[in-house]
Structures are given as structure tokens and as C-alpha cells.
A and B are shown apart, each in its own frame.
Chain A
Amino acid sequence: MKFEKKRAATKQGIPTASMPDIIFMLLLFFMVATTLREQEVYVKFSLPEAQAIEKIENKRLISYIYVGKSGRIQIDDNIVPLKNVQEIMYRKRVALPNVIVSLRIDKNAKMGLITDIQQALRKADTRRINYSATLKQ
């Protein structure tokens, strides 16, 4: 007796028609999650380590101040002298009242400079700050 193999009538193979849709979905997620506002950093710094650190919940409120090994200060895309910090930060504060200043300071910086920056921030009334630090393992 001869057996005949049963074949499914439908075509085999996975339909790939919906693949672009799925990838589009992924693409959209990454497009939304990306912040392309990456700044170029002109100063060299390595952040200190700490344990009791918190996340900054709202990235849009952050404004960065970089202080490098050499003690130079960078705000946005410019190296600025200390005496201009207050004015620049005041302008930022007017544009965005609840701005959080993230201080990315090299761990070998001197406190004198940091104190001066903090005094400028206090005068500019941008008083919410965050000392940027990485998690100590």
C-alpha cells in the first residue's frame, strides 16, 4: 500500500510583510528616547565616586557646568571666566525657573573654586544643584 504524504494547503514560511511595522515601532521608541543634545566637552575631568547618590528624574531641567582638571569652567559650549557664571546662570534661571544645575567637577579640583561657583549660583538664585558622581562599586 502506498502512503501519500499529507501536505498542508497553505504556503509555508513566515510572512514578513509586517516586519517593517515592527521595526518601525522599535525605531520610533529609540527616536523618542534619544536626546541628541549631546554637548562637546572641552575640559578634562573624571567624576568622583559616591554611594548615596540619586537619579535626576527630569533630564530636561538640567543645565551643566563642567569644571576641568585645569580649573577651567565650561557652560554650554563655551569656556567662561568665573565672573560671567552668575550672569549666564541668571539668564538660564529666567528662561527655566526650576532649573537644576548639574556640577560635573573633576575630583582633584580645589574647593576654593567650587565655593566661588556656588556663591555665583546663589547670587543667580539657581539654588538646586547636583554634584555629579558615579556609583562606587
Chain B
Amino acid sequence: MIIKKRSREGGEFSTASMADITFLLLLFFLVSTNIDVDTGIGLTLPEITDITNVAPLSKERLAAILINESGDVLLNKEIISIPQIRENLRARIRSKIDLPKNKKLVVSIKTDRNTNYNLYIQALDAIKGAYFDVRDEYALNHWGIKTHNPEKLTKQQFNELKEKIPIIISIAEPEKIK
């Protein structure tokens, strides 16, 4: 008896569907990716210290912002609205650019326990905005670039900005009343 040998075709498998499979994987990762970056207002909290050895700041350096629970804002004991903070602080920061390090402006924020968080963020935003405005101006006047973005400046320029216009925001110690 003769057994017929079947002729085989070349031992390859088709790669035509490979593209489809990879497309499927690609789609999965496309859908599950979220490239959104986290944005927010950055801050460094102060170290825990004893309240007793804190030296009081001179009136000239301090901009104290108080927000009470009904949303009224005081800046150095005068009533002000949140959008006005930016304008007001800008002038004060600008006047202190050329002063030495220990004479720069310190902005302090203090809130009541019942103050709305959103108000606090709006005030903080206004303060940061004022600082960024002055940094922008400084950069424009000195290097012709209108930005405070560290990515667009050289390291040296950014350090100069940080030295001339340091952002000092102090969060007041909460009071232990009530």
C-alpha cells in the first residue's frame, strides 16, 4: 500500500492579523491613559516651632490677611475685597524688590474655623498671582521675556527671580480659642 504524503505548505503562520491585535491593545491603553497633570497651588508649610520664640515682624514687612466666617476680608485691618488683594499686594511687592533679604514682604493668611475653603483658596490665588505678576514684570524688564515659568528661564535667571522676589506666605498659627 502506498501512503500518500501530503505536501505541506511552508511552516509559517500568517501575520496579517497581528496588526488587529496590536490595535486592540493600543485602544485599550489609549482609553485607560489619563495624561492630565495635577495642577494646584503649591506651598511649603512652616516647621513646628514654639510660639514663644517667634520674633514679631515689623509693620512695614507684614501684610496680614484675615478672613472671617462670613467672607469679609481684612488686609492690615482694612476691609478689602478678594479681587483687590492682587492689586494692593503687587505695589507692595514691587517696592521691595531691591531691599535686602530680611526686609522682603511677608504675607500672612489667617482664617476662622468656619471660613469656607474656597475663599481661602481665592485669597491664596490672589497672593500668588500678585507675586507672579511682579516676577513677570521683572523678567520682562531685565531679560525681555514675560514669564516666571522656570522652564523658559535659565537656572541663573530663575534663581535671581527667587532671590529678588521671594514668595513668603505664612500660615498663621491657629488660635486655641473656643
**Does A70 lie at the interface of the complex (its beta carbon under 8 Å from any beta carbon of B)?**
no
Contacts of A129 in B (CB 8 A): 42-45
The interface on chain A, measured as residues whose beta carbon lies within 8 A of the other chain's beta carbons, has a size of: 53
A30 touches B30 (CB 8 A): yes
Which residues in window 41-85 of B have CB below 8 A to A? 41-48
B41 CB contact (under 8 Å) in A52, A107, A109 = A52
Chain A nearest CB from B120 CB (Å) reads: 6
Query: By CB atoms of chain A within 10 A, which of B23, B47, B112, B121 has the most?
Result: B121
Encoded as 1 (CB less than 8 Å from any B CB) or 0, chain A from 40 to 77 comes to 00000000101111111001001000000000000000
Binding stretch for chain A, among B99-107, B122-130, B138-146, B156-164: B122-130
B40 touches A102 (CB 8 A): yes
Task: Give the CA-CA distance A109 to B120 in the complex, in Å.
Answer: 10
Task: Give the CA-CA distance A108 to B113 in the complex, in Å.
Answer: 13
Nearest A residue to B22 via CB reads A23
B47 CB contact (under 8 Å) in A48, A118, A122 = A122
A48 touches B19 (CB 8 A): no
Interface of A is mostly: mixed
Q: Report if A105-B41 is in contact (Cβ < 8 Å); known contacts: A24-B22, A30-B30, A131-B124.
A: no
Contacts of B37 in A (CB 8 A): 55-56, 59
Contacts of A103 in B (CB 8 A): 40
**Does B114 lie at the interface of the complex (its beta carbon under 8 Å from any beta carbon of A)?**
yes
Chain A nearest CB from B59 CB (Å) reads: 25
Which residues in window 97-137 of A have CB below 8 A to B? 100, 102-103, 105-112, 114-115, 118-119, 121-123, 125, 127-135
Nearest A residue to B26 via CB reads A27
Task: Give the CA-CA distance A125 to B124 in the complex, in Å.
Answer: 22
Contacts of B1 in A (CB 8 A): none
Chain B nearest CB from A118 CB (Å) reads: 6
Point out residues on B near A: beta carbons under 8 Å. 15-16, 18-19, 22-23, 25-26, 29-30, 32-35, 37-48, 111-118, 120-122, 124-126, 128-129, 131-132, 171, 174
Question: Knowing that A115-B174, A128-B45 are A-B contacts, what are 17 other residue pairs whose CB atoms are under 8 Å apart, sorted by A's residue number?
Answer: A19-B19, A27-B25, A30-B30, A34-B33, A50-B121, A54-B41, A54-B42, A55-B37, A55-B39, A100-B42, A103-B40, A112-B114, A114-B117, A129-B44, A132-B40, A133-B41, A135-B39
11 A-B pairs in the complex with CB atoms less than 8 angstroms apart: A23-B26, A31-B29, A33-B35, A48-B122, A110-B115, A111-B115, A111-B117, A114-B120, A128-B44, A131-B121, A132-B40
